[in-house]
Amino acid sequence: MKKLLQDAIKERPLLGDGAMGTQLMFAGLEQGNCGEAWNLTHPERVLAIQRRYAEAGSECIISNTFGGSRIMLNRHSQSGRVVEINKAGVEIARQAFGSREGYVLGDIGPFGGLLEPFGDFTESQVRSAFEEQAGALVDGGADAIIIETQTSLEELLIGIEAAQTAGAKCIIGSMAYDVTLDGSTFRTMMGIEPERAAAFMEEHGAHIVALNCGTGMEMQRARDAVIRYKSVTSLPVMVQPNAGKPRLENMKVIYDETPEQMVQGLIPLLEADANLVGACCGSTPEHIRAFRKVIDEFLELKGIEVMGGQRESQAL
């Protein structure tokens, strides 16, 4: 029987996947269109992307459902297909592993607005949207729910509680931090420090605390976040740093940190006891392949069983 994700990553670090949005655009998705709808209209293209991550050595793949809530899908006239899109997203990610066992993380991204009194959405509207999405992801067979790219504790809590209502066996809360202008620290857009976020997530029943994306959140800063998380919680930590800083080229956002450059920060992350490592904006299957090689070497030095890019792990 496959172990729960939160238990498996306590035994050895697992490897996640990389960016999805940029890969969808490389596959033909036009800027501003609904990538989540591709789970139904172009499943073969989504599968091809996620299969490349699996072949590169990913042990955890995030479903293509970042904008899969009713609120987000409504902006693309797709709100009537919430359940279909999310269940298909889980199924495609599972198919990417082929005969190999792996973990599918059902993705819930921000609802894309502000809660009252600062915005137009009520807590009830967001809760209903997240519960619907989380229910579809769990019913579709997701091993975990990740509530990601969060900047406020209010929205994060709604996501955690929605995952609990859906019966998720593993809940991951992932914050998006921005490095301050003076470079002295990092916090979310809503001013949340990592220590406060980690303590909050543990208090409210998350199983894994995480970070992804954000401005300036590269490998070194991700290591700092791991240390700060672990100073206040015993929960395992997941990190997904960006592949360098973004720049605009020919009206396209480019992340130019190569796999060789990015992977240089991986050993410090592992030595800081990061439990699940993937990558976010700008990363590719080649970044993940480079991560796989370094993680395998790190585990061999520690005398821990190596997963290997294409080998089935007995630890799973």
Full set of structural domains in the chain with CATH: 5-302 (3.20.20.330)
pLDDT of amino acid 249: 77
Which residue reads 């699940």 in tokens? Answer: 276
Decide if 134 contacts 106 (C-beta within 8 A): yes
Confidence at residue 295, expressed as pLDDT on a 0 to 100 scale: 97
Tens-level pLDDT at each residue, the chain (316 residues): 899 999 999 999 999 999 999 999 999 999 899 999 999 999 999 999 999 999 999 999 999 999 999 999 999 999 999 999 999 999 999 999 999 999 999 999 999 998 988 888 999 999 999 999 999 999 999 999 999 999 999 999 999 999 999 999 999 999 999 999 999 999 999 999 999 999 999 999 999 999 999 899 999 999 999 999 999 999 999 999 999 887 877 767 778 899 999 999 999 999 999 999 999 999 999 999 999 999 999 999 988 876 544 333 333 3
**Residue 272 and residue 225: Cα distance in Å, rounded?**
10
Tokens coding 289: 């392949």
Rounded Cα gap, residues 69 and 254, in angstroms:
27
What was the pLDDT predicted at 311? Answer: 38
How far apart CA 246 and CA 249 sit, in angstroms, is 10
Q: Which of 97, 170, 100, 102 lies closest to 137, judged by CA? A: 170
| 99 C-beta neighbours (distance < 10 Å), count | 5
Nearest to 200 by CA among 225, 167, 175, 218: 175
pTM assigned to the model: 0.94
Integer Cα distance of 222 and 239 in angstroms: 7
Non-local (6+) Cβ contacts of 202 within 8 A are 209, 233, 234, 235
- Rounded Cα distance, 269 and 223, in Å: 5
Element at 11 (helix H, strand E) = helix 5-11
Distance CA 287, CA 44 (A): 22
